[in-house]
Amino acid sequence: MLRLRADVHHALTGEGGALLDERTGRWTYLSPSASMALRALLHSDSMEQASRVYADRYGVDPLVARSDLEQVVDAVRGLLHQHRTSVRRRRWWSR
């Protein structure tokens, strides 16, 4: 479902996790639950599947889990690979 940009690296730490952005050299530190949420998102095919994994891990309602996952996505949005849909442009010569 989600992918980190090619120049962003995820590392587990004793306090949770960290993301290194090679473009800027900045580290983004994650709490243990945020790190687990990111791992669930990266290894799942859908938000629903990631929500179930996260809800089972922490024993929370799936709606609460989904809200937590959405907050993590918002927090690391700039570090995620952007899926671009191809838009067919009309060329001036093909009117």
pLDDT at 9 over 90: yes
Among candidates 32, 25, 31, 21, which has minimal Cα distance to 77? Answer: 21
Torsional class of 76: left (φ above 0), alpha (ψ -120 to 50), beta (otherwise): alpha
Give pTM, 2 decimals: 0.80
Q: Residues 75, 38, 46, 86: is their CA dihedral positive or negative? A: positive
Question: Tens digits of per-residue pLDDT, 23-70?
Answer: 999 999 999 999 999 999 999 999 999 999 999 999 999 999 999 999
Q: Where are the domains of the chain?
A: 8-77
Distance of alpha carbon 25 from alpha carbon 45, whole angstroms: 29
52 or 90, higher pLDDT: 52
CB 41 within 8 A of CB 30: no
Average pLDDT rounded to a whole number, residues 65-78: 95
pLDDT bucket at 91, cuts 50 / 70 / 90: low
